[in-house]
Amino acid sequence: MSIRDATAMSVGADGLVPKERYVSQEFLDLEMEKLWPRVWQVACREEELPETGDYLEYTIGDQSILVVRTDPGTVKGYFNTCLHRGTRLADGRGNFGDGQIRCRYHAWRYALDGQLTEIVDRHEFPEVPSDLRLHEVRAERWGGFVFVNMDRAAEPLIDFLDPIPKLLGPFHLDQMRFATYRTTILPANWKVVVDAFNEGYHVQGTHPQLLAWTDDVNMEYVQFDTHAHYGRLAHARRELRPSPRLGLRDDEIDEGAILSSLVSGLGGLFYREEREIVDELRSSPLPPGTSLLEAYQQRRMEMLRSRGLDVSGLDRDKMTSADDVYWFPNMVGPTYPGTAILFRVRPNGLDPDSSIKDLWTLQWPGPDEPWKMPERKFYPDWTAKDWGLITNQDFANMAHIQAGMKSRACHGLRLNPRQESNLLHMHRVIDRYLTA
Ligand code: FES
Ligand SMILES: [Fe+2]
């Protein structure tokens, strides 16, 4: 099958998603030509650029973009290339101390707003116009994230994100701050990595230990125009139930044990003191007519309020129900009251078999805790760190998925039409870009 065919067909006549979309160099090249230069993507968070002159380099494929705070209220993005002979102007992150972006090679200089301000031996460049500026990319912000888009004609970010701002607005992501920032390299296509966090179908196969406190079967999958959601959207978690796959009778279900596993098992999503609240509720009689879940939700709401957090937009059920959102094309993860775990995944350079994964946890800073940017940790080899059981299990699958698809006998992916519907949706949205 030619790559152009694989593009026009998220699903082939055989009902399969062509594997070329995950394993071929040509398909990645096509994404690099048509998807990544046109789509809004998260470059960083605002708190990474607190001061005027702060910059940060965001890379996607072989492209590098400089995100710069040009004044207290403005963040701009530039292609990271000198107008003289193309040298990358800066890397990593830092501050353009004197308000000048200075090329390391022949010392051409630019103001923070991109204006070329100095050409060394100017008189020898009579042809160069005096109003040259660095090539700008669109940079817009929502929820504390700085998004960039290389397409000057792209729709406004807020329209692209719809309905995420509506859905996640009450969680005030803009008031959250990084709690941890880790990055690793995974041996699989970027979409393989995204897929692993965009469905619950693999829970029984990969994370059987979760079934005791997770109803993996009754998850809902909702596709929006561009983005998607999984978990309970219409009605939040009202009961503490294990997976129906375990076939337990009602009298075999211990709600207290489920709640306690939920709070400790999803580690990063709950505050440390919440385990104590669960223990306390389990060991004392509940107010009459109140379930354990309701009592806990009430306590959690009070705890968040006492930390000075605005929970006015969140109902009680939301206290124990994350919104798992797939932010097309490459960010996925649960947002909870007070916390969020977000994974950003990118191709690693131009390699279809490797990706860069950022694992971010965000938190509302507590009332008396001054926030400080955590150290960004980079693990070039994911096996060098213990990521916790659930993530270790997911990561261990990656190389096998990528290698297995390359088998001569594998022609494509047979997606579960309900539980893996978000994956198919992603392919269809990718095709909107590839065929436009
Ligand atoms: S390449 Fe930048 S000044 Fe020469
Ligand atoms: Fe998983």
Residue 103 CA, closest ligand 1 atom number: 2
pLDDT over 80 (residue 233)? no
Are 214 and 356 within one domain? yes
Ligand 1, from 66, 84, 125: best to mutate by most atoms within 8 Å of Cβ?
Answer: 84
Contacts of 138 (CB under 8 A, 6+ apart): 77, 148, 149, 150, 151, 152, 154, 157
Are 33 and 58 within one domain? no
Interval 236-257 mean pLDDT: 85
pLDDT digits (tens, 9 = 90+) for 175-228: 999 999 999 999 999 999 999 999 999 999 999 999 998 889 988 999 999 999
Q: How many structural domains does the chain have? A: 2
Is-contact 76 114, C-beta < 8 A?
yes
Ligand 1, from 81, 105, 122, 134: best to mutate by most atoms within 8 Å of Cβ?
Answer: 105
pLDDT over 80 (residue 37)? yes
pLDDT for 3 equals 55
Ligand 1 centroid – CA 146 distance (Å): 28
Confidence tier at 308 by pLDDT (50, 70, 90): confident
Is-contact 263 278, C-beta < 8 A?
yes
pLDDT for 127 equals 94
Torsion angles phi and psi, residue 227, rounded to 5: -100, -175
pLDDT digits (tens, 9 = 90+) for 376-407: 999 999 999 999 999 999 999 999 999 999 99
Residue 82 CA, closest ligand 1 atom number: 2
- Give dist(CA 90, CA 47) in Å, integer: 20
Ligand 2 centroid – CA 390 distance (Å): 6
Residue 270: both structure tokens together: 């709950």
Q: Residues lining ligand 1, CB < 6 A?
A: 82, 84-85, 87, 103, 105-106, 108
Are 136 and 207 within one domain? no
Are 388 and 239 within one domain? yes
- CATH number of the domain that 69 lies in? 2.102.10.10
Contacts of 115 (CB under 8 A, 6+ apart): 131, 132, 133
102-106, 111-115, 298-302, 341-345: which has the minimum mean pLDDT?
Answer: 298-302
pLDDT over 80 (residue 2)? no
pLDDT for 304 equals 87
Ligand 1, from 81, 89, 106: best to mutate by most atoms within 8 Å of Cβ?
Answer: 106
pLDDT for 235 equals 52
Are 357 and 436 within one domain? yes
Q: Hey, what's the torsion of the CAs at 84, 90, 94, 98, to 10 degrees?
A: -10
Ligand 2 centroid – CA 323 distance (Å): 16
pLDDT over 90 (residue 340)? yes
pLDDT for 239 equals 74
pLDDT over 80 (residue 269)? no
Are 83 and 208 within one domain? no
Are 74 and 148 within one domain? yes
Q: Hey, what's the torsion of the CAs at 112, 116, 118, 120, to 10 degrees?
A: 130
Mean pLDDT for the chain overall: 92
Ligand 1 centroid – CA 346 distance (Å): 29
Domain boundary at 153, 176, 199, which?
A: 153
Are 346 and 388 within one domain? yes
Ligand 1 centroid – CA 34 distance (Å): 29
The verdict on residue 85 lying in a domain is yes
The verdict on residue 431 lying in a domain is yes
Are 104 and 79 within one domain? yes
Residue 85 CA, closest ligand 1 atom number: 1
pLDDT over 70 (residue 8)? no
Residue 37 CB burial class (10 angstroms; 0-12, 13-18, ≥19): middle
155-159, 218-222, 262-266: which has the minimum mean pLDDT?
Answer: 262-266
pLDDT over 70 (residue 428)? yes
Q: Which domain holds residue 111?
A: 41-153
78-92, 165-179, 252-266: which has the minimum mean pLDDT?
Answer: 252-266
- Give dist(CA 77, CA 93) in Å, integer: 13
- CATH number of the domain that 337 lies in? 3.90.380.10
CA angle 139, 93, 334 (to 5 degrees): 60
HSE (side-chain half, CA atoms, 13 Å) at 384: 10
pLDDT for 365 equals 81
pLDDT for 276 equals 86
Ligand 1 centroid – CA 126 distance (Å): 17
pLDDT for 162 equals 98
Ligand located closest to 195 CA? 2
pLDDT over 90 (residue 238)? no
Are 344 and 425 within one domain? yes
- The residue whose CA has the least distance to atom 4 of ligand 1 is 106
pLDDT over 70 (residue 268)? no
Task: Residue 316: name the closest of 302, 331, 334 by CA.
Answer: 302
The verdict on residue 159 lying in a domain is no
The verdict on residue 239 lying in a domain is yes
Ligand 2 centroid – CA 201 distance (Å): 9
- The residue whose CA has the least distance to atom 3 of ligand 1 is 106
